[in-house]
Structure 1
Amino acid sequence: MSNANSSSIDASEDVAVKAVNKRYEGLVTVRTKAVKGKGAWYWAHLEPILIRNPETNMPKAVKLKCTLCDAAFSASNPSRTASEHLKRGTCPNFSLMLKPISQLPPLASPSSQQNHRKRSSQSQQAVGTSSNVYPISMVDSSRFRNETSFPPAQTLQAPGVTLKPLVLSGGKEDLGPLALLENSVKKLKSPKASPNPTLSKDQVNTAFNFLADWFYESCGSVSLSSLEHPKFQAFLNQVGLPALSKREFSSARLDSKFEEARIESEARIRDAAFFQVASDGWKSKNSTSASQCLVNFMVNLPNGTRVFQKVVYSAGGSMPSQYAEEVLSETIQGICGNDAQRCVGIVADKFKAKALRNLELQNHWMVNFSCQVQGFFSLIKDFYRELPLFRSVSDNCLKIAYLINSTPHIRNSFHKFRLQGLDFAGYIRVPPPKCDISKNLAPFIAMLDDLISCSRILHLIVLDDSYKVVCLADITARECADMIQDVGFWNDVEAAHSLVKMIMGMAEDIEAERPLVGQCIPLWEELRAKVKDWCTKYNFAEGPVERIVERRFKKNYHPAWSAAFVLDPLYLVRDASGKYLPPFKCLTHEQEKDVDKLVTRLVSKEEAHIALMELMKWRSEGLDPLYAQAVQVKQRDPVTGKMKIANPQSSRLVWETCLKEFKSLGKVAVRLLFLHATSCGIKCNWSFTRWFCGQGHSRSGLERAQKLVFVAAHAKLERRDFSSAEEKDAELFGTMSVSLLLRVQESGVESIGRIKDPLLRENTIWPSLNQLAGEDSWCVDRKPILVCSYISESEIDH
């Protein structure tokens, strides 16, 4: 019997503890919301606390603690507690803000004071005997506390006198100046020190140095004129800093930052035995955009770091190969002077067949090849031009998109389904009329995105009565209905979309990870495997697809790919005897010959036969198993979650330390293995490139712009931040804002156009589509406007 009683007591205690915890958690939730502005005012001063039993340490009650005086109260009625403790003046540390004069009720008459002495006992303590004069201190000066440092004055009131509301000639707008007048009088009576903090000269210089670093590293997101904005100047004054001029940030301070960055960059290049030049921006992704008029020059060092060299303003348009060759030669000479052999090679996004090839023939020690990212982009264009699937999908999708966008009855059906809670784009994006999709695939991919996203809606629309009415008079509507209800059509759309997405995904990874030249052969093998799987999945013949891939591979291929692949210890394969040997079996017979030719070209004629003998020895003996395993150790990347090589420099370091017996072949290996396969550089903002465009032919202006670019790029490389501010903002907001802003250019002045339909979405396009995107010029009110090519003309608000 006693056991039953004890168990019932324990159960009741558990119920009580759960109730106390639930009450406490509920009050904490309410207070959290209130602190964020979604609840009663008193929660800023009342805090729930949990009272525990000192013997069992179990919660036994919930109390409310006043954060001003630490008094504790029952939590049963927080509103009543606030009224009694805070409003009625029980808390000694709480004081309510005075209301404006227009909101103050008239004081009670003497007779009413006699009936309510308890409530008005405090209000009867006053000074002065004036019956009709309102003192200035009746105004709530606390509302203007940001402009003065004095607390609100106490209200003066004559006992037994009813004060009438003050009427000022300027109305309620006079209350502000009246409060300022009162504070001015008090300031003259008892002057105080300035509320602004006083900083030492060293503190001011340190603060401005940090501000300058932020400004330069913003890479053009903040304009020079913003430094003289009144609000920004007010902020500087508030924190105790002197006024700032944009001239200071564009002259002496800029020169100092530039010299500091230049000296550090040159020191890093001098410390390296050799380097590679990476040049990005030659291949105009957008011939009419100023953001594509800058050609970046970077220096890749053997230790894996990159150093910014310079930016060349190309003024837009396509540049001849001879000009690019001259600029590249001048850049190399400017870096290493007469010791040109320190430049191992060049990687660029264009001019592989001419400029890069000519420089390689003129300098036998150079290895020049094109960027892998551009090769993958070009492959997508090859598929569109040569694979019939893409042509048929493009024509059919255009037919459906034009019908949906241009027929009012069908548009009304779209809106009807939208009211039912279905989410989709307001319009189906279509390429502009003069857009060549074979050269600019971004509009085509955007159209596929929209059609796939609203496929369910399209099936409902063709079954709607309004669509059937349209079909009676429009043969195109009937054809579109047949296509929408055809499973084969959607399979083709999905197949084209999947193939593009797959290649774009690989291109994004290449751009982000920046592989070395030894990884090119494995990358293309991975691509071939994925394309083969795609053919199997969508039941396409492998022959035509593989021929397109192979043709693009040969256009991009360089013998250095094969040589670096077999010389890199990272790709050594263990055989049956336990040796780690180079993967010559993965190369074709022609590629093996390319390795021999490249090795003999990169050494002197006297060393050529020695290098070939060492290559044969490397092929048969390979590397010590212990060192080979150490080179191939992988670890998980904490950011991406992928397995990556733990020490990428180990491949080169093994040749410089453990394989010293390969004297001639080792020289070739260490100069090949660090070469980068991509030319992707620093991504600049629109405002950043506008600095160059606005300078015209001003030499001093271009010099300042060059210095700004150099300092910003140097800082980005220090932080290993290769993205632009626009990309970060896109990640923050996720989708396009309600009104898409378009940049308009007229005489160098920007204005803004707006998209009429706020439902256009950008998140359906992968970020790397910017590499494919072009822009077309339209006119709005006779003003040339540059808009993204996948926005149709009907969506521009004229």
Structure 2
Amino acid sequence: MASTSSTPSDPSISIHDDTAIRAVNKRYQGLVTVKTKAIKGKGAWYWAHLEPILMKNPDTHLPKAVKLKCCLCEAVFSASNPSRTATEHLKKGTCPNFVSVSRPNSAISPLPISSLPSPPSNNHRKRGSQMGTALKSLALVESNRYCDQVGYINSGFTPKGQDLVLSGGKEDLGALAMLEDSVKRLKSPKASPGPLLNKDQIDSALELLSDWFYEVCGSVSFSSLEHPTFRAFLNQVGLPCLSRRELSGARLDNRFYEAKSEVEARIRDAMFFQVACNGWKSNKCCSGEDNLVKFGVNLPNGTSVFHKAVMTGGGTVSSKYAEEIMWEAVTGICGGGSQRCVGIVSDKYMTEALRNLEIQYQWMVNISCQVQGFVSLIKDFSKELQLFRTVIENCLKLANFVNNASQVRSSFQKYRMQVLDYTGLLRVPWCRCDCVKDFAPVYAMLEDVLSCARVLQMVILDEACKMICAEDPVAREVSAMVQSEVFWNELDAVYSLMKLIRGMAQDIETERPLIGECLPLWQEFKAKVKEWGARFNIAEGQVEKIVEKRFRKNYHPAWSAAFILDPRYLMRDTSGKYLPPFKCLTHEQEKDVDKLITRLASREEAHVALMELMKWRSEGLDPLYAQAVQVKQRDPLTGKMKDCKSSRQQTSVGNLPE
């Protein structure tokens, strides 16, 4: 049933339009009252199948007309004459679904009132007497068939000519009872025998059903299997009912063993792999749950497979304990051939454990996740950049004032509906601790405030808000803030930087860059930050210092070595040779390349590796091969230029997917 919202007081609406709107609402309320009485047995029979609806203008959202909708076939009619609508649509058989509600044996439709001869209207007394005669004639024409068709009980007609008791009396409850039974039969039909399936077909169908249930696990609960309608559906198509025990027992165990065997086979076929783990950071302050550390395996073809999950208990995990768990995972995957594990990628909270494992097993390259490296920049800026703290505190003050002051809240919702076509309050962070991933609640609050800039300015100019500002100093402060151009410029600057950082992190999660792509990634980010500072007139010194500090925390010597050895980054010099980009490295990073290659090679082959590196530096790659490697094409999904045949044989720096 349509909503009966009151007409808003809009000065743009004329007096004539306001009168018409009131008339439409009055007509609608009258029809709703008549239908309510009819449902209780005090009205005409057809109101069980007709429903009044309020039509609104799509542009102004104001009521413009009242219609009648058939509950059986969803058809819409004029509400000027409900009785005639019922006669023409229901009793004459126009509605295709009315037969299922009425008795199917009724072959003859009742005589409609419109077919009777209309009496001459000489005076009110004659018209009343003739109408009474017409009603008696209608009661005598096929009275039994009429009562059968529309579901009424002929409790008043006798051969002596007594009048028929029409609908509307307390005694006439048979029609409602029959209607209720019909609705119950429609909602819960008796299970008719479905198509006969053989055992193989039944097993195949149940396997597909269980596969679907496991794939959507989390959105469909076990209790859904026991829903009566779902069980009736299975019975209708000739399938037995699935029980909780069947889905959580042997069938689930078989799925687990199949998946485990497939994962072990893929790992066994790989010449090398990388272990990925995340979840070391405790979230107990927000969720009250223990840490669940997930281990996966990154394969050379760029895919990842799940290995296991370990519960570490609440609180902070020590570096030594994390180191033991990581090495147990490595040995559990590769057994005695531990050199197949070329490294571990983990979240940044286990940097010390990763470094200790590298020292013990020199062939491994253990690095931190780049996603968390970029996300941590938001926390760095919020702690070390005064602009961030000022904007976040001002937005919190503004959002709490708008959400908590009742008169201001009402004005905000009214103007937000007018300007943005939707209502709601400003989102406020419920937790500001470090465990909130990438400050998503804070980002949402800034986004809300920035998108409602015009709405907030309208609220401040509202008379209700002006009255509050006269008495409340906080209201005056918020009002001055909203009307300040500096506030909106600073908010735009902080929001833009957070959006830039989050965008880089999302790209890393999607594309899972290789180790050799880390240096170009950070150089690209530094260039974008410099453009951001120039756009908003932000001093570069403090911002560059924060970014450089985070870069050094995440930096690994393997970044420089992989960048130099990757043929995609070869640069053509004046002689036409394609040489590695050593000039893009600092002096310390060049030393890191030599040290890493020396550590990864055996003691007998270290000098040979360094000689090959010098040859690579001076001669590079054949121009024909270099040009072939560096061919790029546009990705149709992202629109970015990517390598046509990018080699994924290096280990990635992305974290384990959620």
Give your verdict on TM over 0.5.
yes
- Residue 582 of structure 1 and its aligned partner are, at CA, apart by 1.2
- Residue 638 of structure 1 and its aligned partner are, at CA, apart by 2.6
In 2, the alpha carbon distance for the partners of 1:441 and 1:327 equals 29
Q: 1:436 to 1:374 in 2, by over 3 A?
A: closer
Match of residue 625 from structure 2: 627
TM-score by length of 2: 0.72
Match of residue 676 from structure 1: 652
Q: Which one of the candidate residues 435, 442, 445 is aligned to 2:443?
A: 445
In 1, the alpha carbon distance for the partners of 2:76 and 2:396 equals 56
SS of corresponding position for 2:300: coil
1:405 aligns with 2:403: yes
SS of corresponding position for 1:606: coil
Q: Which amino acid aligns with 1:679?
A: N
Q: Does the CA-based 8 Å contact 1:280-1:349 persist in structure 2?
A: yes
Match of residue 566 from structure 2: 568
After superposition, residues 88-107 of structure 1 pair within 5 angstroms as 97=99, 100=102
In 2, the alpha carbon distance for the partners of 1:419 and 1:447 equals 18
1:108-145 residue CA offsets vs partner (Å, 9 max, x unmatched):
79xx99xxxxxxxxxxxxxxxxx9998999799xxxxx
Match of residue 125 from structure 1: none
- Residue 441 of structure 1 and its aligned partner are, at CA, apart by 2.8
Match of residue 177 from structure 2: 173
In 2, the alpha carbon distance for the partners of 1:273 and 1:617 equals 27
Q: List gaps (5 residues or longer) in structure 1.
A: 1-33, 42-82, 114-130, 141-161, 182-186, 188-192, 653-673, 683-798
In 2, the alpha carbon distance for the partners of 1:355 and 1:421 equals 54
1:640 aligns with 2:638: yes
Q: Which one of the candidate residues 334, 337, 342 is aligned to 1:344?
A: 342
In 1, the alpha carbon distance for the partners of 2:332 and 2:431 equals 46
In 2, the alpha carbon distance for the partners of 1:237 and 1:201 equals 15
1:222 aligns with 2:220: yes
1:353 aligns with 2:355: no
User: RMSD in angstroms over aligned alpha carbons?
Assistant: 4.1
1:290-337 residue CA offsets vs partner (Å, 9 max, x unmatched):
788432211111122222211223444432222222221111111111
In 2, the alpha carbon distance for the partners of 1:437 and 1:316 equals 13
- Residue 384 of structure 1 and its aligned partner are, at CA, apart by 0.8
Match of residue 332 from structure 1: 330
Q: Which amino acid aligns with 1:475?
A: P
1:503 aligns with 2:506: no
- Residue 382 of structure 1 and its aligned partner are, at CA, apart by 0.5
After superposition, residues 257-276 of structure 1 pair within 5 angstroms as 257-276=255-274
Match of residue 453 from structure 2: 455
Q: 1:224 to 1:327 in 2, by over 3 A?
A: farther
In 2, the alpha carbon distance for the partners of 1:475 and 1:132 equals 79
Q: 1:619 to 1:348 in 2, by over 3 A?
A: same
Q: Which amino acid aligns with 1:274?
A: F
- Residue 172 of structure 1 and its aligned partner are, at CA, apart by 3.1
Q: 1:255 to 1:472 in 2, by over 3 A?
A: closer
In 1, the alpha carbon distance for the partners of 2:177 and 2:455 equals 55
SS of corresponding position for 2:490: helix
Q: Which amino acid aligns with 2:204?
A: T
Match of residue 671 from structure 1: none
Of residues 372-381 and 482-491 in structure 1, the stretch that sits farther from structure 2 once superposed is 482-491
- Residue 604 of structure 1 and its aligned partner are, at CA, apart by 0.7
Q: Does the CA-based 8 Å contact 2:376-2:438 persist in structure 1?
A: no
In 2, the alpha carbon distance for the partners of 1:203 and 1:99 equals 37
In 2, the alpha carbon distance for the partners of 1:445 and 1:543 equals 24
- Residue 621 of structure 1 and its aligned partner are, at CA, apart by 1.5
TM-score by length of 1: 0.60
Q: 1:292 to 1:510 in 2, by over 3 A?
A: farther
- Residue 363 of structure 1 and its aligned partner are, at CA, apart by 0.8
Match of residue 256 from structure 1: 254
SS of corresponding position for 2:645: coil
Match of residue 11 from structure 2: none
Which of structures 1 and 2 has the larger relative contact order (alpha carbons within 8 angstroms, sep 6+)?
1
- Residue 425 of structure 1 and its aligned partner are, at CA, apart by 5.5
In 1, the alpha carbon distance for the partners of 2:430 and 2:182 equals 61
In 2, the alpha carbon distance for the partners of 1:169 and 1:454 equals 56
Q: Which amino acid aligns with 1:196?
A: G
Match of residue 26 from structure 1: none
Q: Which amino acid aligns with 2:381?
A: F
Of residues 479-488 and 243-252 in structure 1, the stretch that sits farther from structure 2 once superposed is 479-488
Q: 1:494 to 1:102 in 2, by over 3 A?
A: same
In 1, the alpha carbon distance for the partners of 2:184 and 2:411 equals 61
1:479-520 residue CA offsets vs partner (Å, 9 max, x unmatched):
333322221221111111111111111111111111111110
SS of corresponding position for 1:309: strand
1:385-414 residue CA offsets vs partner (Å, 9 max, x unmatched):
111111222233233333333334433432
After superposition, residues 425-444 of structure 1 pair within 5 angstroms as 426-432=424-430, 441-444=439-442
Q: Does the CA-based 8 Å contact 2:517-2:563 persist in structure 1?
A: yes
In 2, the alpha carbon distance for the partners of 1:403 and 1:214 equals 47
- Residue 617 of structure 1 and its aligned partner are, at CA, apart by 0.8
SS of corresponding position for 1:97: helix
In 2, the alpha carbon distance for the partners of 1:318 and 1:195 equals 60
In 1, the alpha carbon distance for the partners of 2:506 and 2:265 equals 32
- Residue 597 of structure 1 and its aligned partner are, at CA, apart by 0.7
In 2, the alpha carbon distance for the partners of 1:494 and 1:263 equals 52
SS of corresponding position for 2:348: coil
1:26-63 residue CA offsets vs partner (Å, 9 max, x unmatched):
xxxxxxxx9x977579xxxxxxxxxxxxxxxxxxxxxx
Match of residue 784 from structure 1: none
After superposition, residues 522-671 of structure 1 pair within 5 angstroms as 522-649=520-647, 652=649
- Residue 207 of structure 1 and its aligned partner are, at CA, apart by 1.0
In 1, the alpha carbon distance for the partners of 2:403 and 2:218 equals 38
Q: 1:219 to 1:314 in 2, by over 3 A?
A: farther
In 2, the alpha carbon distance for the partners of 1:39 and 1:308 equals 54
SS of corresponding position for 1:197: coil
Q: Does the CA-based 8 Å contact 1:106-1:164 persist in structure 2?
A: no
Q: Does the CA-based 8 Å contact 2:283-2:435 persist in structure 1?
A: no
- Residue 576 of structure 1 and its aligned partner are, at CA, apart by 1.9
Q: 1:315 to 1:679 in 2, by over 3 A?
A: same
Aligned residues: 536
Q: 1:108 to 1:565 in 2, by over 3 A?
A: closer
- Residue 231 of structure 1 and its aligned partner are, at CA, apart by 2.3
- Residue 471 of structure 1 and its aligned partner are, at CA, apart by 2.9
1:192-212 residue CA offsets vs partner (Å, 9 max, x unmatched):
x96301111111111111112
Q: Does the CA-based 8 Å contact 1:566-1:582 persist in structure 2?
A: yes
Q: Does the CA-based 8 Å contact 1:521-1:562 persist in structure 2?
A: yes
Match of residue 486 from structure 2: 488
Q: Which amino acid aligns with 1:366?
A: M
Q: Which amino acid aligns with 2:555?
A: Y
Q: 1:463 to 1:599 in 2, by over 3 A?
A: same
In 2, the alpha carbon distance for the partners of 1:589 and 1:574 equals 21
SS of corresponding position for 1:257: helix
- Residue 238 of structure 1 and its aligned partner are, at CA, apart by 1.3
Q: Does the CA-based 8 Å contact 2:558-2:593 persist in structure 1?
A: yes
After superposition, residues 121-140 of structure 1 pair within 5 angstroms as none
Q: Which amino acid aligns with 1:628?
A: A
Q: Does the CA-based 8 Å contact 1:636-1:644 persist in structure 2?
A: yes
Q: 1:294 to 1:40 in 2, by over 3 A?
A: same
- Residue 532 of structure 1 and its aligned partner are, at CA, apart by 0.3
In 1, the alpha carbon distance for the partners of 2:411 and 2:92 equals 62
- Residue 573 of structure 1 and its aligned partner are, at CA, apart by 1.4
1:605-650 residue CA offsets vs partner (Å, 9 max, x unmatched):
001111000111111111222222222222222322322222222x
In 1, the alpha carbon distance for the partners of 2:560 and 2:416 equals 55
Q: 1:437 to 1:470 in 2, by over 3 A?
A: farther
In 1, the alpha carbon distance for the partners of 2:403 and 2:75 equals 46
- Residue 440 of structure 1 and its aligned partner are, at CA, apart by 7.2
Q: Does the CA-based 8 Å contact 2:560-2:593 persist in structure 1?
A: yes
